[in-house]
Amino acid sequence: VWLAPTTGSGVPLERIILRHLGLRTAAGAGPMSPLFVRRGSETALSKEDFGRKIKGLLATVSIDFPALDLELDVYGMHSLRRGGATAAQEAGISRDMIMSHGRWRSDAVDAYLQSSLDSRLGVTRRM
């Protein structure tokens, strides 16, 4: 998966990934090692394990920032897929490029392409 150095919101993805890679390298990982592994091993996290990790991170965020009032049961791996597709669309990326990047081969991508809340509210502001 190709990542840009930063997102449109300024989140420094490159810095975050490079820090993680530095920690992995310090732990003895090679250049072809999995990016996300089980603690204390070189075994790649399964999709299910990665999903549980994401849920755990969201639970921590929910505790640290209760004002966000996150409904943890509605977030999962597909939230990342939907959010990424939506962010790409909002950034003006073509549907074909989104399909290619997300490895969609059918019109199923359309179920993931939704206007962001800000865009939808912008319609109301312009009325």
pLDDT of residue 57: 82
- Token digits for 26? 């310090």
pLDDT of residue 96: 94
pLDDT of residue 4: 64
Distance separating alpha carbons of residues 81 and 64, to the nearest angstrom: 24
pLDDT of residue 94: 93
pTM, 2 dp: 0.54
> By three-state DSSP, how is residue 96 classified?
helix
**pLDDT tens for the 127 residues of the chain, in order:** 556 666 666 667 777 788 888 888 888 888 888 888 888 788 888 888 888 888 888 888 888 888 888 788 877 777 778 888 888 888 889 999 999 988 889 998 998 887 777 777 887 888 7
pLDDT of residue 3: 61
pLDDT of residue 99: 93
pLDDT of residue 68: 81
Distance separating alpha carbons of residues 55 and 79, to the nearest angstrom: 11
Tell me the DSSP string of 9-73: T---HHHHHHHHHHHHHHTT--TTS-SSB-TTS-PBPPHHHHHHHHHHHHHHHHHH-GGG---GG
